[in-house]
Homo-oligomer: A and B are copies of this chain.
C-alpha cells in the first residue's frame, strides 16, 4: 500500500482547496484570459465549421462565408450586450441557471442546468478534439490517431484537476494573450501583404476544387438555404463560453459588475474581430475546407481525387502568412491555438463541479456534492465528466465536425431561457421601482434582453431544425435524461423533507428508560470493551446475549463469562437453524414489545481492520444485524469499535488524505 500511495501522491499530488481561487480578486487584465479563454478558443474552430458546411454547396458555397461570418458576428454582439445586463442584475455569479430559476421557475432552471451539464461534457470533447486537429498541422504523425491523442489529453487534464492544480492567472494569461496576439498579428500581416504589398497569397487548398460525392453540382433554392442555415448554426459555436463571465462576477475586483461588463465588451470586440478577420483572410487566400464526413472530396488541378481533409483554417493561414519568410510565426500560431483549446477544456473541469455544487445545494443532485471540500464528491464529478467526454471522443472519433452538431443546442437553450428570465426580471423590477432615471435604465436593459432573447430564440430554432437529425437529437436526449434524473432526486428530497419536518404536533416525548443489550459472539477484548462502554452509560437494564449455534462454543463462552465475572447476566438464545441474526432480532423485538415506552440500545463490538479484504472476514454478522435493527422503531445501534493493530496503517492513510485535503 505504501508504494501505491506513493504513486498516487506522485500522480495527484497534494490536494489544493479550490475555494482559495476565489479569494484573490482578479483585475481585468487577468479576468479576461481566465474567463474568456473558452469563448475566444471557439474562434479557432468556428470558421472551419462554417467553411466545411458551406463546402456542401460545392465551390459556390464558399462565397457565402462572408455573410455567415457577419451573421454570427451580429449574434455575438447581441449576446454580449444582453449579458452585460445580466452581470449588473445578478452579481452573485449564479449565471443563467440562477436567472432562469428565479424568474421562470424550477423547471426552467432545471432545463438550463441540464443543458449546461451536457455542454460541459461537450466543451471538453470539442475543445480537445479541435486542439488535436490543430496540433496535426505541425505534428502530421497524429493523423489517424486523433481519437486516442484526444483521450490522452483528457486523461492528462483529469489528473491535473484531480491533483487540484491551482490555475494561477499566469497559466491562463500567457497562452490566451499569445493566442489573441498571434491571431491578430497573423490576420494583419496577411491583409498587409495582400493589400499593401500586393502579394498573391494562396492557401494550400486554393487550387483544389471541392466536389460532392453524389455528383450534384448546382445547389440552389431550399437545399442552399438548408446548407446556409447549418453553416450558420455551426458558426454559432463561436458563442460557446460567452456566458462564463456572467458566472464569474464575484471574482472580479470592485466595482465587480462594471469590470465584468467591460471585460465582456472586450471579449465581444476581440471575438468578432478575430472571427471576421480569419474568415476574411481565408476568403482572400482561397481556403477550401472539406471534411470526409460531409460527403465531399477534393479534385486537384490534374483531375486527381483527394479524399482526406486538409488541416484547419488557422493552420493553413499561418502557413501561407508566415512560412515563406518567418517560420517560427507558424509554430507560434499553431501552438497557441492548441494550448488555448486545451485550456478551454480545462475550464469545464472547474465549471462542472461548481455547477454540481450549486445544484446539490438546491437539492437536484446528491447533497454530498455540495460540500466541495469533500474530496470524494469533487473527484467523482471530475471523473464522470472525463469519462463522458472520453466516450464522446471515441464514439465520434474526435471529429469536431461531428461533435459540433451536438454542441450548440445546449448553449442556445441556456442563452434563450437566461434572456427570457432577464426580461421577466426587469418587468418585475419595474413594478416596484419609482426613480425615473433607474426606470429608464431598466427599460433600456429590458429592450436589450428582449432583443437578445428573440435573437437567441430564433438561432435556437434554426439550430434545432438544421441540426436535429445530424446529431442534435442526441444532445436533447442526454439533456432530457439529466433533467428527469435531477427532477426525481429533487422530488425525493422534497418528499423526505416534508416527511421529517418538525411540526407543533410532532412527537417529542422522551423515552423513559434505556434497555441495553450487548451482542456477544466471543469473550475477548472487543467484547470487554463493549461491556465497559455499555456500563459507563448506566442503562436501566443491561443484558449480554449470545446465540447458540455451536454447542462447544457456547459452553466455552459460558465458562469464560463466569470466570470473568462481569456482573452482567448472559442470556443464551437457542438457534435451531445455526443462524445468528434471526433469533437475535427476535429477542430485541420482544424486548421492545414488552417495554414499549423504553428505548433499546444494542451494543455491537466491531473489529476495525486495515484492509478491505479483512473486512470480508469480520463484522459480517454485525453488519447484517445492524441493517435489520435499523428497521425497528425505538432501537438505537451502537458500534463499539476495537482497533486491531492492522488498522493503524489505514488510519495513517486516512489522516494523510485528510491532511492533504485541508492543506494547500
A interface, CB within 8 angstroms of B:
17, 19, 361, 366-368, 370-374, 376, 489, 492-493, 496-497, 499-502, 506, 508-514, 523-526, 528, 532-533, 535-539, 549-550, 560, 564, 575-582, 585, 599, 601, 603, 606-608, 614, 616-618, 620-621, 624, 626, 628-633, 635-645, 647, 650-651, 654, 658, 661-662
Contact = CB atoms under 8 A, between A and B. Distances in A.
Contact of A577 (B19, B368, B642): B19
A92 to B, nearest CB: 12
B514 A532 contact: no
Given A601-B537, A631-B651, A500 B371 contact: no
Given A492-B617, A577-B662, A630-B639, A536 B524 contact: no
A51 to B, nearest CB: 46
Contact of A638 (B361, B523, B564, B638): B638
Contacts of A618: 496
B631 A606 contact: no
25 contacts: A17-B576, A19-B578, A367-B617, A368-B621, A370-B549, A370-B550, A373-B549, A492-B617, A497-B524, A500-B524, A510-B532, A510-B535, A510-B536, A512-B536, A514-B537, A538-B538, A581-B658, A582-B658, A608-B630, A628-B654, A630-B643, A631-B641, A636-B638, A636-B641, A638-B638
Classify the interface of chain A: helix, strand, loop or mixed: mixed
A632 B529 CA distance: 13
Contact of A579 (B373, B524, B617): B373
Contacts of A511: 532-533, 536
A525 B647 CA distance: 35
Given A525-B501, A579-B371, A638-B636, A532 B509 contact: yes
Contacts of A585: 658
Given A536-B514, A639-B626, A371 B524 contact: no
Contacts of A632: 641
Contacts of A608: 630-631
Interface centre among A510, A511, A537, A644 (most CB of B within 10 A): A537
A98 to B, nearest CB: 15
A531 to B, nearest CB: 9
B637 A639 contact: yes
Given A537-B537, A607-B496, A617-B489, A525 B502 contact: yes
A246 to B, nearest CB: 22
A550 B361 contact: yes
B579 A661 contact: yes
A18 to B, nearest CB: 9
Given A501-B525, A637-B639, A372 B578 contact: yes
